[in-house]
Each structure stands twice: as C-alpha cells, then as structure tokens.
Amino acid sequence: MSVTAFALLIERLAFMPSRTGKLRLLEDHFRQAEDPDRGWALAALTGALSFPAVKAGAIRAAAAARLDPVLFAASYDFVGDLAETVALMWPDTGVSATAPSLAEAVERLTLSGRAEAPALLAAWLDRLDDSARVAFLKLVTGGLRVGVSARLAKTALARFGGRAPEEIEEVWHGLAPPYRDLFAWLDGRAGRPQVNHAATFRPLMLATPLEDTEAAALDLSAYAAEWKWDGIRVQLVAGADVRRIFSRTGDDITPAFPDIARHMAFDAVLDGELLVARPGAEAGSGSGSGSGSNGAAAEIAPFNDLQQRLNRKTVTRRMLAEHPAWVRLYDILFEAGEDLRGLAFTDRRARLEAWFARIRPQCMDLSPLVAFAGLEELAALRRGARGRAIEGLMLKRRDSAYVGGRPKGPWFKWKRGPLTLDTVLMYAQRGHGKRSSYYSDFTFGAWREVAGGGRELVPVGKAYFGFTDAELVDLDRWVRTHTTDRFGPVRAVEPRLVLEVAFDSVHRSSRHKSGVAMRFPRVHRIRWDKPAEDADALATLEAMIAE
C-alpha cells in the first residue's frame, strides 16, 4: 500500500461524522491494506508516531524553495491551512506511480534531522499525488484531526478480528508499531501476542448513574461513599522499568504529565483522579489522610485549570509551575505484581491505605471515605457538594470486586443536581450527519446591562443535546420561522425563545465574550411559555462561578 491508500482513508475519516461510519472505514482498511502499512496507519491514527525533526517551519521552508510567493500568499489566504495549501498547490511532477509506501515514508522520516527535513519533504511531495500530499503533510506534522481516538481504533481492531475490546486492551500497551504480531493474531495466522504485562492498561471499573428514586431503594449499609471528583480518571501503572499514566480510555498520556510520572517510583497499579492543584500546594504532599472524612492535602483548582494540561503531547515548564498536576487515589489493582482485583472493596481500600502510608508518593493523596449515617445525611452531603472539585458522590459496594467495564450495581455515581439558567436562544446552526437538515446546535445568551441604560444579550454557551427528537422538530420549525439573519449554516433568530439550560458548573474564561464558560451545557426545558425579558442576567450566572 502506498501513502495514497492511507490518504484516501484519512480523507474519508475526516468527513465521516458518525462513529459507526468511522468504525466501518477503519475495519475495511485493516482488511484491505497490508502489513506493515496498515500497522503504520494504525500508529498514525492512535498518535503513536511523531517526527520531531519535521515542524511547520520545515513545510514553510519547502514551500518557499519551490512555490511562487505571490501565488502562495493568495492561496494560503483562501485555504487557511498551511499543510493543505502547500499540498494542493505543489506542482505535479506526474511521477505518482513511484509513490512511497507508508512504511518507507515513516522509516525515513524517523531518521531525518531538522536540517534535511525541508529537502526530504520536497522530495516526497514530488512523488505523491495531491490528495496523498495533504494526508502526508498532516501525518508528518502530527495533525491528522480526523476524529479517531485510540479507543475507537481499538474498537475497530476488535471488530476486524472478531475479538472483545478488552482482549485488545490487555495486549495493546505491550505492542509497538507496525503491530505485525497484533495483525497476525487478528488475521488468525498466529496466537495472541506475548506482551510484558507490567506495562499494560487494565480496563477500568465504571459506575452507573444513580437516580434519586433509586437511591431511596438502595441498601446503603452495604456501600461506602466517596466524593466524586471533577477531574479526569487515570490509571497509574508503575514497576521496575515502566511508568505509565493511562486515561480512562486507555490512551497513554504519560508525556503530558511528567510532574506525576517522576514520582511514580513504586510497583503498583492504581486508580484515581487526575486534578490540578493550586501552585504551591505541593508543600502539603505526602500527608494523605486515612479513612477519616477530613479533606485531603492539596488545594484543588477548578476543572478549567486542568483543561490547560489536557490534550497536549508535551508540556512547558511554565505550565508545570502554573498548573501542577495532582492525583487523588481511590483504588489499588496490583501491588508488587499481586493482582488485587478479586478482593472486596473494603480489603482493597485497606491495602491502598497501608500502601500509601508506606510509600508516601509526592503529588498524590487519598480520596477520603465519606462517613454517613443514612440516606438523609447522604442526600444532604450531596446537596452541599458544591465545592470546587466535587461533582457529587460515589457509592461503592463494600463487598465488590474490581471488574472492568460498567457492571450495574457495585458502583454508582450520584451526581449533584445541575445548575440551571433561563437563557434566550440567539443563534442556531445546522447539525451534521442525520441532523444535517435540522437546526440542532443552539447558542443562547443572558442579559447584560449596557452603559447608558438598556440591556443586551450576550452569548453564554452552546448546547446541542438535552431535547427529544420531537422537541428538535419543534425547535427547528421555530428557528426557520423566526430567522432574522443568515451566516452560512448559522441563523440568527429573534430573541424570543427561552431555553432553560442545565450545566454542571461555570468558570471564568477569557476565550468567551461573556467571560464565562459552562461545563456540559444542555437544553433542560424549552420554555415556550416564558417571555424573553424574564430570562436570567449574566450576573446571575457569574454568581454561580465556583471559586
């Protein structure tokens, strides 16, 4: 397979809105492409490839050497994307018959140095046709942006090989590109690859949401309670020669969190919440609490701060200083090679506390157990859980083993009630895929006083779920009959319809005109009855900010 076949896949994925559609494209590609190219394609999609020598500067340099500057500038203005502009206007040499294989391109680029990168790029571009050039430049600069997570790629692998996703997960982190042994196994030509289990991700145990009515029916004496932290779930895997931090979906995010990894000098697999501490909080590190209900050591920053650290391949020193990472531990899966997953929660908790007291790792603490006498007290705790990093409560059956996946019953998450705000619909945008004929993405605003009197609406968020299909039909019709202006796929509407929006929390944000950003906003109720003048003010929303 040449780069051309990979390019076609990238092209289709980039435009495919649906998850099942993406899965089918991937599965089809694994079936049609050959080794080792399909493995390199997999590596590219899962972010396992990087070519440090090739940066945007190398593309600019290659362009400057070969392209007319006036035409390049005019084209860049029109296209708006450097890699795409260069790819599209690169002169055709008509030698695409000699397009390199993906493997050849990857292997050569891995060895390339910064100085030779522009010339090397130019030589490859000469050998590719234009659609392949786009994919190639996106590949080498690490910006595929086709909406495929490692998780999705692994699901496609599982379907392709007729295996359970957990089976792929068990071996995944012991494998390396171009994954010949993995594909041999999935093709049925060889047995399951032997991997070093010390470095693998174990599927996480997930909780099911608990409705208020269900809570009353629960035998609470069988459950322990913890705070539900507003961070991201991580699994820490450390041993003699391995330190890895995995996300909930099994993505290896170690490079983004060196401040945690450097303190993982132990032999254990731990489950916990990744948070960001207030700078300077490390002073209190290591003084984790026991099973009492008093708070943990670090002062936690809002989720917004954590977001500065997410989705990054590398991290700057400044970011480490301003947004230091912290892990709040709540379970232990392995200790010194011993698999503890079969133990009851209470026993694992005792092992975790003993382990923590002995190791005292920096930048980590224990998530305290929350003592409660009964449903009433628990409900009161949940209502009061409006603190910075708390989303609600976790209930874990004391006798439950650690089981990967989402078994119903042993673990519940009982989120606090959402915040709500009455907002006014301002703009609507057409959706994608099945929703492409509906105005289904709604931008809503709140009132703000204008200097000199009067009020104006300022956009405070955007929501595209929370309503039923029938309600969507009504909203769509309303948008079409109340349009005041059109901007491509976006319509401005008369400021008349009140949407009661629910959201988990609200934070300050310099990126939004309103100065605030909501988390998980969704349409809670459509207030056909309520006059827009009675909708809430921006000040009301600002008062909800969790400082």
Partner 1 sequence: MTATRHGRRPPVSWLAVRPEGLLVVPAGVFVDPLRAVDRALVTHGHADHARPGSAHVGATEETLAIMRARYGAAAGGRLEPFAWGETRSLGGVDITFRPAGHVLGSAQIVLEHAGTRVVVTGDYKRTADPTCRGFEPVACDVLVTEATFGLPVFRHPPPAAEVAKLLDSLRLFPERAHAVGVYALGKCQRLIALLRAAGYDRPIYLHGALVALCELYEAWGVSLGPLLPASAAAKADLAGAIVLAPPSALADRWARRLPDPVVAAASGWMRVRQRARQRGVELPLVISDHADWPELLATVEDTDPAEVWVTHGREDALVHAVRQTGRAARALALVGFEDEPE
Residues engaged in binding partner 1 (CB under 8 A): 8, 12, 14-17, 21, 24-25, 28, 67-68, 70-71, 74-75, 78-81, 84-85, 88-89, 92, 129-131, 134, 430, 432-434, 436-437, 488-489
Helix (H, G, I), strand (E, B) or coil at 503: strand
- For residue 446, the cross-strand partners are 458
CB of 88 to partner 1, least distance (A): 4
Cβ at position 79, least distance to partner 1 in Å? 5
- Could you say which of 22, 154, 228, 396 is catalytic? 228
- Is 462 in the active site? no
Note whether 102 and 42 are within 8 A (CB). no
Nearer to partner 1, 99 or 327 (CB): 99
Give ∠ CA 46-12-20 in degrees, rounded to 5. 70
Q: How far apart are CA 508 and CA 248, in angstroms?
A: 26
Burial of 459 per CB tally in 10 Å (0-12, 13-18, 19+) = middle
Contact 329, 272 (CB under 8 A): yes
- The answer for 142, left when phi > 0, alpha when psi is -120 to 50, beta otherwise, is left
CB 459 within 8 A of CB 445: yes
Structure tokens at 446: 């709140």
CB of 469 to partner 1, least distance (A): 12
Q: By C-beta, is 422 or 476 nearer to partner 1?
A: 476
> For partner 1, which is the closer residue by CB, 21 or 407?
21
Instruction: Tell me whether residue 235 or residue 429 sits nearer to partner 1 (CB atom).
Output: 429
Of residues 52 and 489, the one with the C-beta less far from partner 1: 489
CA gap 135, 302 in Å, rounded: 37
Least gap, CB of 142 to partner 1 (angstroms): 17
DSSP result, 307-336: HTTSS-SS--HHHHHHS-EEEEEEEEEEET
Q: Are 71 and 89 in contact (CB under 8 A)?
A: yes
CB atoms within 10 A of CB 286: 16
CA distance 483 to 492: 6
Cβ at position 153, least distance to partner 1 in Å: 17
Least gap, CB of 491 to partner 1 (angstroms) = 12
For partner 1, give the closer residue by CB, 21 or 174. Answer: 21
Alpha-carbon gap, residue 117 to 120, rounded angstroms: 5
Catalytic residue annotation: 228
